[in-house]
Amino acid sequence: MFTLTVWCLGMLVAMLPAVARSELHNVIYAINAGGEAHTDSHGIHYARDPLMGKVGTESDYGRQLLVINRVKPQDEILYQTERYHHDTFGYDLPLAGDGEYVLILKFCEVYFNAPNMKVFDVLLNRHTVVSELDIYALVGKGTAHDEFVFFSVSRGRLYYKEESSEIRGGKVKLEFLKGYKDNPKVNGIVLIKSYDEASLPRLAPLKHEAQPQHQQQQFDGDTGAAGHASPLDDVGQGQEGLEDSALDDFFTGPSSEPAKPSTRQRKTSGPKQPNPYSLDESSMMLPVFIAIGAFIPLLFCLCRL
């Protein structure tokens, strides 16, 4: 009996952190698009996709990836399953009266290996809240990406930035607009009311965002725009550019002179070609040997005539 009591108390203590975290967020609506119900590491419970078997296609193609970057293993399933459609599709989001809201849209590119392959818009109550979303261009493949949409509701109207629209039936329409580049998709949806922005669940920073300040400035100088380095630059340049930068820092050491903007492009367009002057002498004599080999049979034929 005592052992059972201790076990129950231990389970209760283990559950308290998740319960405490979930109470921090007044979640009005949360679904795991294309998947089953799930509770994430923040204690947010995602319901089963209500469009199962109704609209579009539910897919778990992302399960083929060994890992989803930027998230804990417990949260990977939210980015491995998705719903897509060959046409515009959407969800009806319920509201809970007047107040401040934040809509979190979860995405992950699990199929394409290049940017500009899947591009689409996201509309909320006919307002364009995400324009020309290219997931791969922002974070690459197999990497979680969240879009935060902040809006307010007052007296039957939705206010987004400087726009407003009428709310009908206490619900707003969230739409993923079909464009001319592949199909729109979504991995997960969370709607929170009366939020504390500092405590909102956010993804871990991208690797380029976690670099020291002096390294970030160095990359900015290469692109010619201070403080506006694109995540795609890190993906496109590969490891060669980063290794070159690290070697330069190692051999040159700290400099007392102010850094000058670099004009050297670090993006590589392909593998380095071998130096043509480094060929050995045997390769240079190869044409001579071929000519001799071809001349001997000819000489033999001439002697027989």
Domain around 215: 208-252
Q: Are residues 92 and 214 in the same domain?
A: no
pLDDT at residue 295 greater than cutoff 60: yes
Q: Which range among 5-14, 46-55, 159-168 shows the weakest confidence by mean pLDDT?
A: 5-14
Selected residue with higher pLDDT from 259 and 126: 126
Q: Are residues 125 and 94 in the same domain?
A: yes
Q: Are residues 159 and 234 in the same domain?
A: no
Q: Are residues 222 and 162 in the same domain?
A: no
Q: What is the DSSP letter of 141?
A: B
Q: Are residues 91 and 218 in the same domain?
A: no
Domain boundary among 166, 200, 234: 200
Q: Are residues 49 and 132 in the same domain?
A: yes
Q: Are residues 150 and 244 in the same domain?
A: no
- In single-letter form, the type of residue at position 36 comes to E
Residue 1 forms part of a structural domain = no
What's the longest Cα–Cα distance across the chain? 113
Selected residue with higher pLDDT from 283 and 88: 88
Residue 6 forms part of a structural domain = no
Q: Are residues 243 and 106 in the same domain?
A: no
**Tally of structural domains, the chain:** 2
Q: How confident is the model at residue 127 (pLDDT cuts 50, 70, 90)?
A: very high
Residue 184 forms part of a structural domain = yes
pLDDT recorded at residue 241: 43
**Residues sharing a CB contact under 8 Å with residue 65, sequence separation 6 or more, in sequence order:** 80, 110, 142
Torsion of CA 20, 25, 29, 30, to 10 degrees: -60
Q: Are residues 212 and 179 in the same domain?
A: no
Q: Are residues 212 and 131 in the same domain?
A: no
Q: What is the CATH number of the domain that holds 116?
A: 2.60.120.430
Q: Which stretches does DSSP call E strand in the chain?
A: 26-32, 38-39, 45-48, 57-59, 82-84, 89-94, 99-108, 119-124, 127-133, 144-154, 157-160, 163-166, 171-181, 185-186, 188-193
Q: Are residues 216 and 165 in the same domain?
A: no
C-alpha–C-alpha distance, residues 59 and 35, integer Å:
8
Q: Are residues 196 and 214 in the same domain?
A: no
